[in-house]
A and B are shown apart, each in its own frame.
Chain A
Amino acid sequence: MYQGIRIAGFGGQGVVSAGILLAQAGVENKLNASWLPSYGPEMRGGTANCSVVVSDGEVYTPIVSAPQTVIVMNEPSLPKFEPMLKKGGLLILNSSLINSRPTRTDIKTVCVPCNEIAQKLGMDRIANLVALGAFVKLTGAVTLESVADAMKKVYKRAKPEMLELNKKALKAGFDAVE
């Protein structure tokens, strides 16, 4: 198993921390993992993004230039990251904030209304975890439990109530896709 992932959205949508969570979950699953934030000139252009790799073998490069999976959380990220996807790759699209649809036909697209699901749980800003839950279900790269375990390490200062809510968001995303 080798998953190279790009997660992209507005700064503040939690795409960078969702990436750390995913990498940490990989470690919880005894996989090798890397995470790289958008960095240097890529920081410009209105979107934040990060590269994550989880692999049962070695991680080649932490720079994911041809991802197996792309998670886009906002409109500007779609045209930027859709072309990068590997043929046959998976695009998880936050349909709450993105009206456009991908033009490529050689990829699999799954639309998830991440913000709507998050709002139903009472907190808009956990939409990133909804997307991550969907990713877990669609790829099986890491287990849902491992992401929950990873939260304790990544969100060290989070209150127990908040961790519970996070887990709900994760599960809701997991259940929202087939």
Chain B
Amino acid sequence: MSTILAKKPSMLTDVPMHYCPGCGHGIVHRLIGETLDELKLSDRAIGVAPVGCAVFADSYFACDCVQGAHGRGPAIATGIKRSKPQAIVFSYQGDGDLASIGMAEIVHAAVRSENITVIFINNAIYGMTGGQMAPTTLVGQVATTAPKGRDPKLQGWPINMCEMLAQITGSKFLARGAVDNPQNVLKTKQYLKKAFENQANGVGFSMVEVISQCPTNWHANVEQALEFVRTKMMPQYPLGVFKDEGAK
């Protein structure tokens, strides 16, 4: 007799993912799939894919998906959710998408406490366009548009989205996880579970930020990238729950 110990979540398709070796996106995709399967919400899910490295996310999630304009995920998710209130709607976004061009959309989705779930991948760089400075790029971090490293005098400081959105009454759950080791992966999954449960229970706006590694644009190998996450990213972006309201 044999027992299945692990399998691909029903929420993921068989389409091979295009992400670079060592990238965190694939892990987070899988966590979303597992979480929705475990919460038995997969057959109600509708996903919103961003512009950025995850532009093809609509092919990887097995639910119906909408891919939209750069930064507008929360607005698109709003339109879907208000039209299909029974749907479990999630917007999957990167740092340029969410914290730069889509700043108004994410802030006001939180202000309205849209009953949606946002997954925010923060890797401190523009990946798809080839390594330009992101709003979350660290001070001193080199990017193709910050060749001497991010200089606060010229480019300001990195932005901490969880901390910022926590000031908004409408945000109900805000947490920051990472996918650099198994413990953090499991913790991130718990955050995702909470964020999706909130939506199912009508609690309101929930967002999980995930610190992710980008070996390609950080010009690092996987080990160095993970080290960068722990020693450089986490001091600027501490992990944990920043807001948890409406929980039973």
The answer to whether any beta carbons of A and B sit under 8 Å apart in the complex is no
Chain A positions near chain B (C-beta within 8 angstroms): none
Chain B positions near chain A (C-beta within 8 angstroms): none
